[in-house]
Amino acid sequence: MEAAVLSYEFWDKQIASEAERLGFDDGYKILYGPWETIGNSDTVFLSLNPGCPPHGADLFSISDERGNSYEVEKYTTLSPITAQFLALADLLELQPKQILTGTVAPFRSNRWMSISLSQRRGALEVGKRFWEDVFATNRPKRVICCCPQARKITSEILDATLEMTISSGWGNTSLHRFRAKDGALIAQIPHLSTFKLLSRPACIAPLKLILDL
């Protein structure tokens, strides 16, 4: 299928409407890259939800048409995940713009647990519908999830089951690999803003194993 099957206009209106319905006033973003990346990438990186944006960022946008947000904002954002994502791209031997990067809950918040349970559920429902649409348009070969919510949603959409659990090389933190019936790989890793796995040599071999590199 062509990426045009997935309607930017529909999702732009849908996410804006859901933000108003659920009471999210701080903005939203579901893709950390250009919309066209949906039809041109088979590697996906998913985090939970967008936090506080860099100064001058567009608060109400479903995609980042400048390029991959982590790369574009590497000198302006204060988030430690930025350097980790860029190092992960190097490990994958991909340019950041070649990775379909996004969130499973599109609405901004300072902390995930600072929003209500109904808001969290609503945000994840929106995210699941979106990624169902995306994966129906372009089936991924590898999805890297740095939160349990992203792995759960992805595994449900792709009908994947647990294949492997190994130590991450960082204390008692584990890495998990799930496999879909069509061979798609889903990797669950700890959140890179807290667990800077790409900066610790002991974590590189486990990452390569779980990502089947």
Q: Tens digit of pLDDT for each residue in 84-136?
A: 999 999 999 999 999 999 999 999 988 899 999 999 999 999 999 999 999 99
**Residues 50, 103: contact at Cβ < 8 Å?**
yes
In sequence order, which residues have a C-beta less than 8 Å from that of residue 20 and are 6 or more positions away? Answer: none
Give me the pLDDT at residue 33, please.
Answer: 95
Give me the pLDDT at residue 2, please.
Answer: 40
C-alpha to C-alpha distance for 4 and 12, rounded to whole angstroms? 14
3-state secondary structure of 92: helix
Query: In which residue are the tokens 């759960």 written?
Result: 152
pLDDT category of residue 54 using cuts at 50, 70 and 90: low
In sequence order, which residues have a C-beta less than 8 Å from that of residue 145 and are 6 or more positions away? Answer: 46, 151, 154, 186, 187, 188, 189
Both tokens assigned to 145: 């999830």
C-alpha to C-alpha distance for 27 and 91, rounded to whole angstroms? 32
Q: What is the pTM of this model?
A: 0.93
Residue type, 93: E
**Residues 62, 27: contact at Cβ < 8 Å?**
no
**Residues 138, 43: contact at Cβ < 8 Å?**
no
The per-residue pLDDT for range 1-42, each reduced to its tens digit, is 343 468 999 999 999 999 999 999 989 999 999 999 998 999
State whether the Cα torsion 66-105-8-100 is positive or negative.
Answer: positive
The per-residue pLDDT for range 154-208, each reduced to its tens digit, is 999 999 999 999 999 999 999 999 999 999 999 999 999 899 999 999 999 999 9
Both tokens assigned to 185: 């790989």
C-alpha to C-alpha distance for 30 and 11, rounded to whole angstroms? 10
Domains of the chain listed by start with CATH number:
3-210 (3.40.470)
DSSP class of residue 53 equals P
% the chain with pLDDT above 70: 93
Element (H, E) at 49: none
